[in-house]
Amino acid sequence: MSHYLDHAASAPLRPEALEAMASAFEVVGNPSSLHRSGRRARALLEDAREQLAVAAGAHPTEVIFTSGGTEADQLVVRGGAAWGLAHGRPRFAASTVEHPAVAHGVRALGEQATWLPVDADGTVRPAAVAELPRDVAWASVMWVNNETGTIQPIRAVVEACQRRGIAVHTDAVQALGHVPVSFADAGVDAMSLSGHKVGGPVGIGALVAKRDAPLAVTSHGGGQERRFRSGTAPVALAVGFATAADLAVEQRVTEAARLTEVRRRLADGVLTVPGVRVNGGDDVSPAILHVTVDDTRADDVLLLLDAHGIDCSTGSACTAGVHQPSEVVLAMGLGEAAATSSVRFSFGPGTSVADIDAVLAVWPDVVARARSAS
């Protein structure tokens, strides 16, 4: 029997999203075409945009469909840096615990890159914003960390940045559907979302951006999606994404309460083995549990769990297959040993107490065997 505890990497497709896509796939027509079939496809696309906007607490005109969260992040990093360079503010700041889509993009800016440090829980302190150079145009701080589940004080970060005239981007891929998310209330200038993290299809995401966000267009073509993301829009994928996001937000309060108990049950159980600790602090997503197992290699723990039919992760799935010490754990100051011995369990609507008990039944033996292999 399989126990899927890797929802932060990719959540199972919701049946409702699949049904909505199946219907949308039957619609023939390019949504940019002016004929009747094109207008019908356009209507589906705009309905999806409106539905997603409601789920994200935004206006439909602020929703730009992309191929996923990574592309949305990159549109901000590249576009924000280009805008800043053209307006005498060439620096782009990011927290040291960002998703690789942001972190690696900012690092590629070279001398224009600036970093916001975090504490041992992985939390950005808004006071650090006051120490940023005056020529910073943008700051990127992810809403919920994809490895530890740490929830950042987004509103406080925004207020600190506004005092400095700095635009704010947040990667909210792991936030939507798990914590309260409202683009309007948060006050950010841009926000990234991803379809398959909320039970939608892979291959669709969104950048939610204010109409006056200081972004330059860095990708050119037919001018679709406010010129920021040219190309024929995948109508059926957008419909599936919007359907899944709507359900995730509608069920958030009930699911968050349930998953809080699921997370607590697993945390209490894994901590019964000496040399195991939970990371991320107290203010964390109910859908993620990040654990360091001393004197092990994370890959060994993962593979031993896999042998028991338990799926989890050693960190960001976007770097899976080439496992290296976690940049997030290193940034938290926990050391290289912890960065190579931490695993992530993540949960969703299909996670049950039976899944948790399956982990706990084998956990002591898995840890012991992993330690003997190190």
Residues 6+ apart with CB under 8 A from 188: 154, 158, 168, 169, 170
CA distance 335 to 333: 6
CA distance 100 to 97: 9
Catalytic-labelled residue, pool 318, 320, 353, 373: 318
Phi, psi of 31 (to 5 degrees): -65, -10
316: which 2 tokens? 């960001």
Closest CA to 10 of 205, 166, 183: 205
Residue type, 150: T
Asked if 360 and 309 touch (Cβ cutoff 8 Å), the reply is no
Q: Reply yes or no on whether 318 is catalytic.
A: yes
Asked if 302 and 132 touch (Cβ cutoff 8 Å), the reply is no
332: which 2 tokens? 């938290």
Phi, psi of 344 (to 5 degrees): -120, 130
Measured between its terminal Cα atoms, the distance across the chain in Å is 28
The catalytic site residues sit at 318
